[in-house]
Amino acid sequence: MSVTEDAGRPGVVGKLSTLDRFLPVWIAAAMIIGLLGGRLVPGLDTALNAVEIDGISLPIAIGLLIMMYPVLAKVRYDRLDTVTGDRKLLWASLVLNWIVGPALMFALAWLLLPDLPEYRTGLIIVGLARCIAMVIIWNDLACGDREAAAVLVALNSVFQVVMFGVLGWFYLSVLPGWLGLAQTDLAVSGWQIAKSVLIFLGIPLVAGFLTRRLGERARGREWYETRFLPRIGPAALYGLLFTIVVLFALQGDQITSRPGDVVRIAVPLLVYFAIMWGGGYAFGKALGLNYERTTTLAFTAAGNNFELAIAVAIATFGATSGQALAGVVGPLIEVPVLVGLVYVSLALRRRFGSATPHGNRP
């Protein structure tokens, strides 16, 4: 049994698998193992950094692909038209992700880090990188709408390729100039952004679609959803834990050696995640969306593409820069906060009542 199937039902906790029941414990352990490994094992971060292809960390890419594939294999692609026809959901997502999110991070960065320009710039870059990867797993754990998540993530990916560089120029150079604040240049290529989208979304999306299409054609939908999906489902959480270990091992020394800076960076991030997630829920409720789609809207608004943010910060300012550290602290804060919000979502599920016909549970 999976947390994504029944976590919202009374008394179900005792029936969950060990992996699902203690998920926060496993994630905390993965973070600690990664941090300690990066701090205590000589050369571990260097060895992990060396395993990359064209600037993409191979261990992180493998972990993310393993994490996303089972979730995208669960998507019922024949239902996507019910999502694309929901213009309220699509417009709400675009507004939250590409207007509210970047503007909010810009404001928080300048209000809370006025004396730390490198960290401030790093946080603004994080705010521009909208989530296209890990949000898939948070949405599934919270029993959000899988089909809606697939559509919104794909929509984010298109806008990311088109708008990331433009918004980076606006929020780091143009808007600060208008306000009489310090300006920064951001050098990022369209190919760098497109590469992130193609690897972290394109590969698992194609694999998930082909798996469902071929599996249902060969054995039928009942076999696919009752026999095949339960077998591959746990791989998503194993991939998540592996990714967390690798990510934190890569930056363990830098994070643990600068705790004061990490706290300063964490404060605006905590405020940002709370406002974006809460605002997403309030927006979805105001629009009359059901629990599944409201949850998907909230998580896709709150999540960020830390892979892209870190890559851009390192390429532009260097691996040891304050901008890169701010990008690394992003997932350090995002992972535990969004795990907690998964459980808050499941508690809120009762207030929405039962799922509507286009809910995403098989």
Where is pLDDT greater, at 304 or 57?
Answer: 304
CA 292 from chain center: how many Å?
Answer: 17
Q: pLDDT digit string (tens) for 106-157?
A: 999 999 999 999 999 999 999 998 887 778 888 988 999 999 998 998 888 8
Where is pLDDT greater, at 319 or 358?
Answer: 319
Confidence of residue 325 (pLDDT cuts 50, 70, 90): confident
Q: pLDDT digit string (tens) for 9-68?
A: 444 344 445 666 677 788 888 888 988 887 787 777 777 777 776 666 788 788 888 888
- Are 264 and 113 spatial neighbours (Cβ–Cβ below 8 Å)? yes
Percent of the chain exceeding pLDDT 70 equals: 87
Residue 231 CB-density burial (10 A; 0-12 exposed, 13-18 middle, 19+ buried): exposed
Q: Please enumerate in sequence order all residues whose Cβ is within 8 A of that of 234, keeping only pairs 6 or more positions apart, or say none.
A: 17, 19, 70
Q: pLDDT digit string (tens) for 155-181?
A: 888 888 888 888 988 999 999 999 999
- pLDDT for the residue numbered 15: 41
Which of 240, 294, 275 is CA-nearest to residue 127? 275
- pLDDT for the residue numbered 237: 84
SS3 label, residue 120: helix
Alpha-carbon gap, residue 318 to 311, rounded angstroms: 10
Alpha-carbon gap, residue 48 to 58, rounded angstroms: 8
- pLDDT for the residue numbered 144: 93
Confidence of residue 201 (pLDDT cuts 50, 70, 90): confident
Highest mean pLDDT among 21-25, 208-212, 334-338: 208-212
- Are 306 and 129 spatial neighbours (Cβ–Cβ below 8 Å)? yes
- pLDDT for the residue numbered 308: 77
Residue 92 CB-density burial (10 A; 0-12 exposed, 13-18 middle, 19+ buried): buried
What does 50-99 look like in DSSP terms, one character per residue? HSEETTEEHHHHHHHHHHHHHHHHH--GGGHHHHHT-HHHHHHHHHIIII
- pLDDT for the residue numbered 319: 64
As a dihedral over the C-alpha atoms of residue 65, residue 67, residue 68, residue 69, rounded to 10 degrees, the angle is 70
Average pLDDT over residues 296-316: 84
Where is pLDDT greater, at 104 or 362?
Answer: 104
- pLDDT for the residue numbered 228: 93
How many residues are present in the chain? 362
* pTM score: 0.79
Q: Please enumerate in sequence order all residues whose Cβ is within 8 A of that of 98, keeping only pairs 6 or more positions apart, or say none.
A: 130, 159, 163, 167
Tokens at residue 294, please? 């409201």
- pLDDT for the residue numbered 353: 57
SS3 label, residue 321: coil
- pLDDT for the residue numbered 166: 87
Q: pLDDT digit string (tens) for 274-287?
A: 999 999 999 999 99
- pLDDT for the residue numbered 52: 73
- pLDDT for the residue numbered 108: 97
pLDDT at 269 over 70: yes
Average pLDDT across the chain, whole number: 82
Cβ–Cβ contacts within 10 Å for residue 147, how many?
Answer: 25
Which of 265, 313, 269 is CA-nearest to residue 127? 269
- pLDDT for the residue numbered 44: 76
- pLDDT for the residue numbered 11: 40
pLDDT at 256 over 80: no
For domain 17-350, give its CATH number from 2.40.50.100, 3.40.50.300, 1.20.1530.20, 1.50.10.10: 1.20.1530.20
